[in-house]
Amino acid sequence: MRGIYTPVTKIRRQVFTEVAKLAYEGGDYNKVEEIPFRIIPGEVPTYRDSIFVERAIVGERIRLAIGLPLYPADQPTYISNGVEESAISEKVYDPPLVNVIPFACNRCDETAMMVTDNCRGCLAHPCVSVCPVKAISIVDGKSHIDREKCVKCGRCRDICPYHAIVKYDRPCAAACGVDAIESDHLGRAKINYDKCVSCGMCLVSCPFGAIADKSQIFQLIHAIKSGHEVIAEIAPAFVGQFGPLATPGKVKQALLELGFSKVYEVAIGADQGAVEEAHHYVHKVASGEEPFLATSCCPAWSVMAKRDFPEIAPYVSDALTPMVATARVIKKEHPDSKIVFIGPCAAKKLEASRKSVRSDVDFVITFEELMGMFVAKGIEFGEMDGDEVIDDATAAGRGYSVAGGVADAIANCVDELYPDVNIMVDRAEGLRDCAKMLKIARAGKRDGYLMEGMACPGGCIGGAGTMLAFAKASTAVREFQNVSPDKVATKSRYVEAEEE
């Protein structure tokens, strides 16, 4: 539902803004108890049957936005429990990252075939005839499905001349590409964390706003307030995310006004990764030493590939992700700094919490969380004079944010560095399609290929922390690419410096 401003969107952004204000103001953190009353004012419920439930859900979202765990609904607690201890300039992270707020869940049916009002009670009743388990009968002249008998084969749906039968899927489960959404004893959505890869597709697909991930904006703001040198690295999908007046240069200026000492493009690391993987493809795959190369920039896809296809794991690139590669560039120049990755991705929060990465990336926030910081500080893009210069990366590195862009960047490097080598490419977006691609590769039908996987539809521009519709986001990235004077990753000054 990216690009659509719904009541769920409104509440989520209000929570981020209020938590940011709380961090900026400091002082008595018991004031956090007042926030639900500002977001849900009055006595009459707006979204649910009870205003008290509305406020309780907001309270749980506030705790998650501060990085704190949910509390069981059957235990007494206060929103403020643990807030004082979390008001630090270090990342607070206790798994799980993505959480279901149980009493916000609507207990949607997992999967069902349903007869809609389109049913005309026709004479033929083809739905009855094709049902293999006799689950359909005619009741009061209309088709009726016995859910206890139905095996959800869909034959009735396919044969109905009025398209009166639909297959109903729980939205969060349908969006999950690794089948991690299950049900608890009360029929509420529950995440199987042995399967979950933290892509965040469930949390942006739940129409009831029952799923949320933890945030680090509270601790990040404290790091900035404490006087640390805090440097932002921003993913290329940021263009267009903050409205038509928020040019890339103005976004950089706004970040500096928030207190970041410097701003770098994450596309720096994308350029480096494209060149590294181009060399890998030619020396290992084109030579026949390895069967194929799977890209590694998307953490959710990479985790799924290594976990569910262990025989393929050795062929997932070990190149640093752009987030980490850029952070290491920054650390060389500013060894005592704290680095925050600003991007579209929930899974990056988990990636940055791994022990091998933790020393390089101190905080991860999404574009939507950053918007909360902008609003809390009263930053208006229309009131800014001039633009900051933002020219760290090539068009290829910036293109990593759109599905197909990673493969294109690597392929273009191969064409430039090894013009006699023909590169074959396959790619998939969405974890279900990524799994299909890997099954084909496992069967030996992708030997010699470079394979790009993206967990989110559309690529990073479709990530859980984005705010812009896919089509508009894709156009904005293409325009951002076009203004880059250097088109191929090999032309990046950071690549040249690395090779020297």
Both ends of the chain: CA-CA distance in Å? 45
CA distance 292 to 94: 36
pLDDT reported for residue 92: 76
CA distance 452 to 445: 15
pLDDT reported for residue 1: 66
Q: Are 407 and 396 in contact (CB under 8 A)?
A: no
Please give the DSSP secondary-structure letter assigned to residue 189: E
- Nearest to 397, CA basis, from 234, 249, 251, 268: 268
- Nearest to 393, CA basis, from 492, 479, 294, 478: 492
pTM for the model:
0.94
Coil/strand/helix, residue 202: coil
pLDDT at residue 186 is higher than 60: yes
Average pLDDT over residues 348-354: 91
| Residue 409 token pair | 């960047």
Amino acid letter for position 262: K
Average pLDDT over residues 137-151: 95
The CATH topology of domain 227-499 is Fe-only Hydrogenase (Larger Subunit); Chain L, domain 3 (3.40.950)
CA distance 393 to 72: 46
CA distance 91 to 94: 10
pLDDT at residue 163 is higher than 70: yes
Task: Name the more confident of 42 and 168.
Answer: 42
Q: Domain boundaries in the chain?
A: 7-102+177-219, 112-168, 227-499
Please name the helix (run of DSSP H) or strand (run of DSSP E) that holds residue 471, with its range, or none. helix 470-482
pLDDT at residue 42 is higher than 60: yes
pLDDT reported for residue 499: 58
pLDDT at residue 175 is higher than 60: yes
As beta bridge partners, residue 189 has 183
Q: What percent of the chain has pLDDT over 70?
A: 99
Segment 292-327, tens digit of pLDDT = 999 989 999 999 999 999 999 999 999 999 999 999
Cβ-based neighbours of 337, under 8 Å, separated by 6 or more: 228, 229, 230, 231, 261, 330, 331
What kind of architecture, by CATH, is found in domain 112-168? 2-Layer Sandwich (3.30)
Q: What percent of the chain has pLDDT over 90?
A: 92
Query: What value does the mean pLDDT of the chain take?
Result: 95
- Sheet strand arrangement including 449-454: 292-294, 449-454, 424-429
pLDDT at residue 500 is higher than 50: no
pLDDT reported for residue 497: 56
